Amino acid sequence: MSDATFACPDLTKFCRLDDLGLVVTGQRIEPDRAVLACRVVDDRWCRRCGCEGSPRDSVTRELAHAPQGWRPTTLVVTVRRYRCTGCTRVWRQDTSAAAEPRAKLSRAGLRWALEGIVVQHLTVARVAEGLGVAWNTANDAVLAEGKRLLINDPARFDGSAAWIGDRL
C-alpha cells in the first residue's frame, strides 16, 4: 500500500466507545484486566431552559465491557452532576447510551456476551470469565437481553414459513 495514511491512535474509537457516548481519558493495564477511565460526552445544557449548567460533583460507575484480546476490560465512567445557571434544575449526565440504569455490563459487553453464547456456543462461565464478572451477573444479563432481543420481538418469525401439523 503506497497510499496508506494513518491517523493518530484513538483508544475511544478502537474500543468502540464513541458509539456508547463515552470518551477514554486514561488507561491502566493490569496483569488480569484492562481498566479504561472514561467520561460522558458533554451533556451540560439544561433541557428545560437551555442555559449552561455548572458542575456540582461527580460519581464513578464501573461497567464490564467487551474484552480486548480476551482480557477483561472495565470501564470506569465519571458521571458529572450539573445545576442550571438559569432555572436551578439539577441533573446527571445521561449514560443510557452506554448501559441500562443500574446495569453492570456496557451495551457492547452485553452484545459480546449474547453473541458468545448464541453464535460461538460459549458457556456462561466462559462469558463471565471473559467479562470479569460473576456467573450470576453474566447469566442474568444475557437472559434479560436475549429475552428483549429475541423473544419479545413480535416480528421475529416474519419471512419464515412454519408448517405445523400439515403433512405433505
pLDDT in tens, 73-92: 999 999 999 999 888 889 89
**For the chain, what is the mean pLDDT?**
88
Q: Which residues contact 43 (CB under 8 A, 6 or more apart)?
A: 93, 94
**Res 121: pLDDT:** 94
CA quadruple 81, 85, 90, 93: dihedral positive or negative?
A: negative
In terms of Cα–Cα distance, which of 38, 24, 17 is closest to 108? Answer: 17
**Res 164: pLDDT:** 58
Q: Give 46 or 112, the one with higher predicted confidence.
A: 112
Per-residue confidence band for 151, with pLDDT thresholds at 50, 70 and 90: confident
Cα–Cα distance for residue pair 150/145, rounded to 1 Å: 8
**Res 127: pLDDT:** 96
